[in-house]
Structure 1
Amino acid sequence: MKNSRSNDLADRREAANKAKAALLEAHRAIKAAAEPNLQEKQAERLAIAAAREERKAERERLKREEKERIEAEAAARQAEAEALANAEAEAREKAEKDRISRVFEDEAARKAERDRRYANRKARQR
């Protein structure tokens, strides 16, 4: 037996339009049913995004503080090294000045002794 129903173009077009309308209606129903959940999901997403931004800001703040601490420590070490170098330079300079003054004193004492011996010798010759 043949299909008694006629399958004209108009019938096929009408069936397609009905199917599209049914799909559209189903989509609208799903969207309407999800509407309350949509608000909740959006609020949840916003809360998650805000928490993410807060964590990011906290990480950046901690990194900045750590960088500042490291820079401060480096500056302190640099200042300490400079102070130590200055102290060593001053100590070397003082030691050099002391050595020079001792050399001058020794030279003056040696000259004074030589002059005394010369004066004694001259006194004996007279």
Structure 2
Amino acid sequence: METALIGEQVSNFLEPNLRQRRDAAAAAKKATLDKIRALANDPALEARRAEREAIVKARMAREAEREAAKKVREAELAAQAARDLELAKQAEAKAKAEEEQLKAELEAADAALKAEQKAARDRRYAERKAAKKERRKG
């Protein structure tokens, strides 16, 4: 009979009833909550949290500085591009003015050459006419 009691006790030990299971679950839940509360009040945890917040703030500050520096660089590049564009326009205008001046000088030189050639031609014509007239007089 003793063996039957031992088997029955083992059976109860292995298969607890509902109240025992509920009490065990409540105890486990209470232990977990106590552990979490203890961690929440832990000064080392608070120090780590503050350290992480400081790291995040420092990271955000560095990122803001990089963004500001990037905007300054972009503004400088835009200003340089505007200056380069203005210089290119001035150089183009100067080249165009020089080209027009050269063209005008060439046209003037060509006109002077043509006038000189015409004067020489007219002089030769006048000389031939005078010579012909002289020959006719005779």
Structure 2 counterpart of 1:57, from 35, 54, 64: 64
| Counterpart position of 2:48 | 41
Using CA pairs under 8 Å that are at least 6 residues apart, name the structure with larger relative contact order, 1 or 2: 2
Distance 2:118 2:27 in 1: 131
Residue by residue, what CA displacement relative to the aligned partner does 1:3-56 show, whole Å, maximum 9, x if unpaired? 498855434443443343334334333333x1x234323322222121111111
Q: Check if 1:109 corresponds to 2:99.
A: no
CA distance in 1, matches of 2:35, 2:53: 29
Alignment match, 2:40:
31
Percent identity reads 35
CA RMSD for the aligned pairs?
2.9
* Structure 1: gaps of 5 or more residues: none
Letter in 1 for 2:64: A
Mapping 1:114-125, distance limit 5 Å: 114-124=121-131, 125=133
Letter in 2 for 1:14: D
The equivalent of 1:79 in structure 2 is 86
Deviations 1:79-115 (A, max 9, x none): 2222222222212111111111111111222222333
1:14 aligns with 2:15: no
Aligned match for 2:95, one of 84, 88, 110: 88
User: Normalised by the size of structure 2, how large is the TM-score?
Assistant: 0.67
Rg (Cα) greater in structure: 2
